[in-house]
Every structure is written in structure tokens, then in C-alpha cells.
Structure 1
Amino acid sequence: EGQSAEQLLICDPYAVFYLTGKLITPGERFLGLLLQKGRTPILYVNELFRFDKDLGVVKKYYSDTDDVTKLVSPDLDPSLPLAVDKTMAARFLLPLMEAGAASFFLNGSLAVDLTRSVKDEQEKAALRKASLVNDAAMDEFKKLIREGVTELEVADQMLAIYKKLGASGYSFDPIVAFGDNAADPHHSPDNTVLKEGDAVLFDVGCVVDNYCSDMTRTFYYKKYPSKEVERVYDLVRRANEEAEAMIKPGVPICSVDRKARDIISEGGYGPDFTHRLGHFIGLQDHEFGDVSTTNFRLEEEGIAHSVEPGIYHPGIAGVRIEDLIIVTKDGCEVLNHYPKDIEVIG
């Protein structure tokens, strides 16, 4: 209603799951949930994904040879605008536009995105559970670190550990970075061999009860870091903890990023903090909403997001420390309990 649209077509599988409780991953095929004022929702789904459960919607199945435009158009009011979400593929949207299926088309993603960004009690419980598993997994991952091991050898063992601890899988592919690779914020594990004195950065997450976790910790192998690396580490830890300390309802999200960024800048490493402070999280690891200098939304009870400052200076240090938080009535709950002290392993 806030977008002046009486019909909304949702194609994002996770948004459909959020609204119906049924997760369908259609691949390249069309999946759509049509919401219209005063009418029963309609779910369009390929025959390959037929199911019996009653979701409180009208189910309309189609085959691979059916025309999606002819499937959906009869249910639309061409005299009204149609809101669609940001994930609707152009190959489905453009034919609807060409057919005049609505008076005009607009991006209706915010209708679902803003709702999903504020977690209810069941969602909060799932996020806590996933982060507790991630804390336990971090302890296990450290045990994989030994002389001569490669990043890939470590990463390849992580999924089994997660599943043993009760997770259903990764929330994203794990980042394992040794030495100077830790100064690459999104390094992909490779055949780099661990050596004494290396940083060991784990950015890892899992899915438990359909909800995601995400945490980063930076360790050191066999040798305490140099004074400058220690200073870098302390800057990142301060940025993480002081940003978390200011989070409460009513605080502009952009000011949380600014707090962390100012600490790192005042420490002389501002240009080496190369990304936003965080991202929203829930059914997906990265959901709509971020913690950046351009997000002027106010923190709100129930919002869940990461706080992950980092300094990435090749030849000196690569450090990131990341927690997840849930905004509470008068502050925030930090979901990760794994220590943030400098830790030498191996």
C-alpha cells in the first residue's frame, strides 16, 4: 500500500519461503507468488515442484512448454500497476510489459524486504542457534591448523564439521586465508601452505533451522604478531566493539559504520578499511540492508546484521573481526561468543 500498488508479484524464492513456509528453488524456471488486495494469493510453480501441502494459496502449475505470460496475465488487472521484486528475471518481466499486463510496472521489493529485516522471536532463536553452532565450529576449525597444511585442505574439512555439529550446510563458501592472503577481503582458499608467523583468517558461516550465521576471527600461527600487527589488530577490535556498544533503536545505521571507520582512520589505516561495516542477515547470509555510510535508516528492535571492520594492508597485516548482532529494546545482543583476544595457535 505504501507503494500505491494493489498487486505484487514476488519471484525471490526466499521471499516466497518467508511468506508461505515452502522453499522452492526453481533454477532457471519461473516461480511467482501473486498478492492482490482482497484476493487469495496465487502461487505459480513448475510441475517439477508439485507438492500437496496446503499453504493457503491457489496453486497454479505449468509445464516447461507453457508460456509464462499467458499463465500469469489472466490473473492481473491491466488497469492497475504491478509491483514486481528485484529478482524477477527480464525474460519473464519483459514479455509481461510488452503484453500490457499492467498499467505500469514498479519495483515492489521493499514491501517484503523491510518486513524480512525485522526478525520475530522464532527467527531470533534460529539466528542464536546458528551462531552458537558457528562458535563451536570455530574451535574445531583451529584444530585443523598444522604445519604444511594448505588453505584448501582446511576448507575442504569444514562442511563435515558443521554437519556433525547440527548444521545443514554452509551459509556461504568459507574463507580461509593464510599470511598475506588475509589482506584480501574475499580471498578464495587456494594451495597456499601455512608457515610460522602467518595470520590465519577464518570467515565462516552455517545454516541451522534455515537461518544463517556468519563470523570472522583472525589468529596467528605459532608466533605472536609484531608490534605493528598487534596495533592493527587492536584497532580492528576496538572498531568492532565500540560500534557494537552504540547500537540501539533510533541510532542511524550510518553512524555505526562511521564510528568504526573513524577509529580505523584515526589509527592511520582508513584507506585500508575497504568495505562497508556490515550486512543484514536472516534466511540468507546477505539480505536487503547494510551497515554503511549511505544507509540513513534507524536501528530498530529485531534488526539483525553483522559488524565486521577490517584492515587490509598487504605486506603489513590483514585483520577482520566479525560478529552478528540483533537489535534489542535498549541496545543489542551480540550473537557470537568466541573470544576476540589475540590468539596464537599451533
Structure 2
Amino acid sequence: MHQERIKKVLSAMEQQHLAQLVITDPASIFYLLGKWIHPGKRMLALYLNLEGNHKLFINELFPVFEDLGVEKVWFKDTDQPISLLAQHLMDENVVGIDKSWPAQFLLELMEQKPDCSYVNCSPIIDSIRAVKDLQEIEWMRQASRLNDQAMANIQKVISPKYTEKQMTQQLLEIYEQLGTQGPSFDPIIAYGANGADPHHSPDHAALKPGDSIIIDIGCKASSYCADMTRTVFYQSASEEAVKVYHIVKEANARAIAAVRPGVRFCDIDAAARSYIEEQGYGKYFTHRTGHSIGIEVHDFGDVSAVNTNPVVPGMIFSIEPGIYLPGKFGVRIEDLVMVTEDSCEVLNQFSKELKIIE
């Protein structure tokens, strides 16, 4: 499977007349080699060459004993890894470099190989990673099933005895019990007015009757990410909160209904945004409608007004409209969808009906 992915990269390189590239993003290296290596501040680089001269440059601090399908070039902390990499690059040629490589490495390489020119090769890998294969799709379904269960379990323990932070701790224990690989991002649990901040960090806020509760959570399974948001209410919901909830729910449904091959991401965003604007809450929907997801919770690509790319089968992204009323409350409802041959499949199945926790 991983060799097939490398073949796709080589084919794209050939089409773009790019003979060599240096991939340093750990998530992309995992995608191509099937092995997670977290180098910290040390250099890690997968070198691909149209002549088949593939090499993984790796510090001896990270012992990788299995065959990854490419030659390993080891170095020590006392070595000069950029010099080692430079020796293997083709002279007077274009080098593809991925967007996440720290400048300290790239600048040194440019000094050592001044006759080469350097281009961003990330669009090649990003576009290939964006379309999930059958195995990836099954792993994404698995992660979302576990996340559905976690959402059910966390809602059962909602209580005024738990602050937002304590609820987050409860969630981490639930993920452990379910056998996940832990959270795919820092969970957001926001009570009442805190929910008006879309990226609120859970704090010591206490739960009060009438509060909305935004629960934005995701787990990892088989190295793939889930992500889902539900908003519930504690003991009661104001007339305004009920109205806003149903507007967000309808916006979520309209965006999902718009998903099918060939539709542009910006049109999916518009399906949610235009409805919220019609209802008079446009200025309170302050973020894009969604983001791509896979090995990383924020893969390349998003559902936004400026992304004019069409969706294709195998893409997976979130649909998460929200309305945030400062000083009052927030409502966000998020699902993951996978583009199919004629529409889409919603990966998580947890109910979106308005729910009041007693």
C-alpha cells in the first residue's frame, strides 16, 4: 500500500517535471512509509528521486528496525545532517521542499547547494493525501464510531459538580476506556457565555441552569482522526437559544446536502453561511464551515468561501457551522462527511436533535 502511495508521488513529480523532493513532515512520512517518527528539533527527511534513489535521513536517536522500503541513512547528533543530505541531491536542479521544514534547515541547504532552486512540493503530497483510499476510509469510520460512543458517554456525566476542565478529564478517561489512541486535538468543552468563543480553552467555569454546553471532541484510532461537535443545554434553554440551535442545525443539514462530486468547497460553505445570514446571524458565524481531516485533524484543504476547488470521491472534511453571541452563549454542530460517487456519507451518527440535560 505504501509503495503505491510513493508511486503516486513519483507520477505527480514526473508530470510537474520535478526530479527530486525532500519530505520532512512526520505525518506525510507516516503516510508514505507507514511509520511515525517524531524528530523534535532534529532533522528528519525522506528523499525521493525519479531515478528511484530514495533515502530516509534519520538520527540514530530514533531506532527504526523494520524495513520501510527505502534505504536508511543514519546520522548522529555530532554529525552535519544537512551536509549528508546535500551530498545526495542532484546538482543544478530543482528541489521540492515541503512547507513545514524549519528555515534553519532549508537556509543551510540553500547555502550548501546554491546552484539548485527550491520549490514548495507540499501540494503534491497534500493532493494525494486528500483523497482517502478504502483502508483509510475504514479507519476514519472506526475513529468516528468511537467518537460517537465517547460523545454518548460524556453527556451521561454532565453535572454541576464538574467544571469544564474536570469534564475534559472525564473525556480523556472515556477515550482511554474505549481503547482509542487519545484525543486528536485539545477538547473544547464550553459552558454558557464561554461557548461564544469558538476556540475556548476549558477552564474552571461552573455549570449553571440554562447554560448551553458546546462539546467539540475528537479521538484517534489507527492513527486517523475523528472530530465532532454537539451543543446541549443544562436543565433549560431560552427561547433565543432554541431558535439559534435550530438555525445552526438547518445550516449543518443544508451544507451536508450540498456535498457531491464536482461541487466546489466554497459552494458548500455558502450553503451553510447564506442560511445563517438570511436568519440575521451572519456576523456571528465567524469561521469557515469546515476543514479537511485524516492523519491530521487539520489536513490540507478547507470548506471556506475562498476555496474554489471541487470535491472528489474519497475526500473527508468537517461541516461545522456555528453562531456565537458574545456574553450569552454559542451553538456549533459538526459532522464529518466523506464524498461518495454521487453524494456523501456522514461518518458520525450521534443525534443532532435539541437536547436538554436534566
* Common fold by TM > 0.5: yes
* 1:188 equivalent in structure 2: 201
2:275 is the counterpart of 1:263 = yes
Equivalent pair of 1:257/1:293 in contact (CA under 8 Å): yes
- Mapped to 1, the partners of 2:99 and 2:295 lie a distance apart of 17
Distance 1:185 1:172 in 2: 14
Task: Map 1:1-346 onto structure 2 (within 5 A).
Answer: 1=13, 2-100=15-113, 103-223=116-236, 225-346=237-358
Residue 200 of structure 1 aligns to a residue whose secondary structure is strand
- Deviations 1:260-313, CA, capped at 9 Å, x for gaps: 000000010101100000000001100100000111110100000000000011
2:194·2:329 contact (CA, 8 Å) conserved in 1?
A: no
Deviation at residue 101 of structure 1 after TM alignment: 5.5
Would the aligned equivalents of 2:291 and 2:299 in 1 still touch at CA under 8 Å? yes
RMSD: 1.0
Residue 188 of structure 1: how far off its partner (Å): 0.3
Show CA shifts across 1:18-43 (max 9, x none): 00011100111100000000223100
Alpha-carbon separation, structure 1, partners of 2:36 and 2:162: 38
Cα displacement (A) at 1:67: 1.1
TM-score of the pair, normalised by structure 1: 0.98
Unaligned runs of 5+ in 1: none
SS at match of 2:348: coil
> What is the rounded CA distance, in whole Å, between the counterparts of 1:267 and 1:226 in structure 2?
18
Contact 1:11-1:88 at 8 Å conserved across structures: yes
8 A Cα contact 1:3 1:108, kept in partner? no
Residues matched between the structures, number = 345
- 1:4 Cα deviation after fit: 2.8
Distance 2:64 2:290 in 1: 37
User: Counterpart amino acid of 1:258?
Assistant: A
Structure 1 residue 17, shift from structure 2 partner: 0.5
Residue 144 of structure 1 and its aligned partner are, at CA, apart by 2.0
| 1:134-175 per-position Cα deviation (integer Å, ceiling 9, x unaligned) | 000011101221123210111012111012112111100110
- Where 1:341 maps in the other structure, the secondary structure is coil
State the alpha-carbon separation in 1 of the partners of residues 255 and 28 from structure 2: 30
How big is each residue's C-alpha offset from its partner over 1:62-94, in whole Å with a ceiling of 9 and x where there is no partner? Answer: 111111221101100121110100011111100
Is the Cα contact below 8 Å between 1:148 and 1:195 reproduced in 2? no
Give, as a single letter, the amino acid of the residue that structure 2 aligns with 1:13. P
CA distance in 1, matches of 2:306, 2:88: 39
Q: Secondary structure at the match of 1:287?
A: coil
Instruction: State, as a whole percentage, how many aligned pairs show the same letter.
Output: 47
**What is the alpha-carbon distance in structure 2 between the residues aligned to residue 66 and residue 77 of structure 1?**
21
* Code of the aligned partner of 2:322: G
Q: In structure 2, what residue type is equivalent to 1:28?
A: K
Q: Deviations over 1:172-219 (max 9, x none)?
A: 011010011111100000000001111111000000111000000000
Q: What is the alpha-carbon distance in structure 2 between the residues aligned to residue 71 and residue 214 of structure 1? A: 40
Kept in 2, the 8 Å contact 1:50–1:61? The answer is no
